[in-house]
Structures are given as C-alpha cells and as structure tokens.
Amino acid sequence: MTHAALFDMDGTLVDTEARSRAAWTLLFEAHGVPYDESLLLTFSGRRGQEVLGEHLHLFPGGTVEELYAEAVSYYSSPALPPIAPVPGAVELVRLLHSEGVRMAVVSSGRRRDIEPTLHQLAMHDMFELIVAAEDVRHGKPHPEGYLSASRRLDVPPSQAVVFEDSPAGVTAAKAAGARCIGVATSQPPQALLHADYTVTDLTEVSWPLMFPA
C-alpha cells in the first residue's frame, strides 16, 4: 500500500526544465563554451553546483560559485519560457491531498526558488515538507533526499512512490527503496527504463496506483 508520494520539482511537477536548459545555454554562450544536447542533459535532475564542478575545465579561471551565481542570474531574463505546471500535476496533487496521502517535494533546486513556484501554482499547502538542495550533503543520483523525506514523514520508502523525470532522480528513488513512476517530460521514455513504469505526463496517473507485477 502507498502511504506517501514524493515528487521531484523541475520537469515533474513544474515545466521548468526548458527554463533551466535556457539558463545553462546562456552561461555556455556567454563564455564561448561549445555545447550540445548531451552536455545540457547532464544538468537534468541534478544540483547545478555538482555538475558545474564536473565541467569546470570548460571554464578556465572560473569557479563553481561564480558560474552558478551567473547561471542563476539568467533566470530573470525575459527570454526564458514562463513557468507552468506539468499537465495533470495540479489535479493529481489535489487528488492525493484529498485522499490523505502524505506528500513531499524532493528537489535538486533551492528552497527560495521552490517555495514561490509552489505558491504560484496554489500547491504549497498540500505538501508537508520540502527537501531542497541545501538540505542534503549528496544530490541525486544519491538517495539521501528521498531517504530524508521518508524518515521525516515516518513512512518507509517501500510504502512511498516517487515521481521523477530524470535518470538521476529515478536512480535516487530506486536506491532509496521506493517505487518510481518516470515522467517523460524532459527525457525520452527509454532514458527512464529503471522506473517501475513511465508516463508521458501526470494526466496518465490514476489513483490508487496499479504497478506491474
């Protein structure tokens, strides 16, 4: 039986992956760094600082702190796509809330970005807690965020379902011992093969959940 639902934020609840990719694109272009789809995908579902650390050799003389601050500054650019919920997200969250399912957001983003977005979409009061990037030592694909949420909700991971749109997030969920629904909004379905099953968006999720045997 499922007693808790743990949601990733960007690309799962909120269609912000396009904004994130646009911000990283602006960073690469500002520094004359060649980029392609595979490079942009390395940022999906992970903490930006950690990924920048892996790519720091592309920015001679730069520091992770400076580059991350610059990337964040691009989020105020009017050229970025607007924030919108993933189709079916608001309806699913309201349904689970009405059914008494305990819910948390487990995100690689910062709390100061997560909370205003949830308020904007009128979903903030439906989540008991948020586990943000600054709340964990290890970001996805490490399971720390999902283990922390399960512990704080007092629900074993085996009785929780995770909704994730990135391979790193799916890996984190499965490593935590939870079942996982892959949401193929930012990745092709084949990139989420380790999820228990995959949907195109959250309109395809019904409750109670029925997992393949």
Average pLDDT over residues 39-58: 91
135 and 149 in a single domain? The answer is yes
Q: Indicate whether 42 and 12 sit together in one domain.
A: no
Domains contained in the chain, number: 2
The predicted pLDDT at position 97 comes to: 97
87 and 111 in a single domain? The answer is yes
Helix H or strand E segment including 162: strand 160-164
User: What is residue 68's predicted lDDT score, i.e. its pLDDT?
Assistant: 93
Q: Are residues 25 and 10 in the same domain?
A: no
Helix (H) or strand (E) holding 190: none
Share of the chain above pLDDT 90, in %: 81
Residue type, 95: L
**DSSP H helical ranges for the chain:** 17-30, 37-41, 48-54, 64-73, 89-98, 111-120, 144-153, 167-176
Q: What is the mean pLDDT of the chain?
A: 94
Q: What is the pLDDT of residue 82?
A: 84
Average pLDDT over residues 97-120: 95
How much is the pLDDT for 81?
Answer: 83
Domain-located, residue 11: yes
CB 14 within 8 A of CB 84: yes
Q: Quick check: is 137 in a domain?
A: yes
pLDDT of 213 strictly over 70: no
CA 103 to chain centroid, in Å, comes to 15
Please tell me whether the peptide bond between 78 and the residue prior to it is cis, using omega within 30 degrees of 0. no
pTM value is 0.81
Per-residue model confidence (pLDDT) at position 183: 98
Q: Is the pLDDT of residue 45 over 80?
A: no
Asked if residue 47 lies in contact with residue 10, where contact means CB atoms within 8 angstroms, the answer is no
pLDDT tens profile 17-30? 788 889 999 999 99
Task: Please report the pLDDT score of residue 2 as a whole number.
Answer: 87
Residues 10, 22 within the same domain: no
In a domain, 125, yes or no: yes
pLDDT value at 39 more than 70: yes
Kindly report the CATH number assigned to the domain that includes residue 97. 3.40.50.1000
Domain that residue 132 falls in: 4-16+83-204
Determine the Cα–Cα distance for residues 64 and 132; give it in Å rounded to an integer.
19
Residue 52 has pLDDT above 70, yes or no: yes
Catalytic residue flag (residue 113): no
Catalytic residue selected from 8, 15, 165, 201: 8
- Is the pLDDT at 124 greater than 90? The verdict is yes
In a domain, 191, yes or no: yes
Q: Which residues, other chains included, contact 13 with Cβ-Cβ below 8 Å and sequence gap of 6+? A: 7, 85, 86, 89, 93, 105, 121, 123, 163
Confidence category of residue 60, pLDDT binned at 50, 70, 90 = very high
Residue 21 lies in a domain: yes
Strands 197-199 and 179-183: parallel
> Do the domain assignments include residue 122?
yes
Same domain, 23 and 39: yes
Residue for token digits 């079916």?
A: 88
For the chain, the farthest-separated pair of C-alpha atoms sits apart, in whole angstroms, at 53
The answer on 97 and 27 residing in a single domain is: no
pLDDT at 70 > cutoff 90: yes
Identify the sign of the CA torsion 153, 155, 157, 163.
negative
Reply yes or no on whether the pLDDT at 89 is more than 70: yes
**10 catalytic per annotation:** yes
Q: Are residues 130 and 116 in the same domain?
A: yes
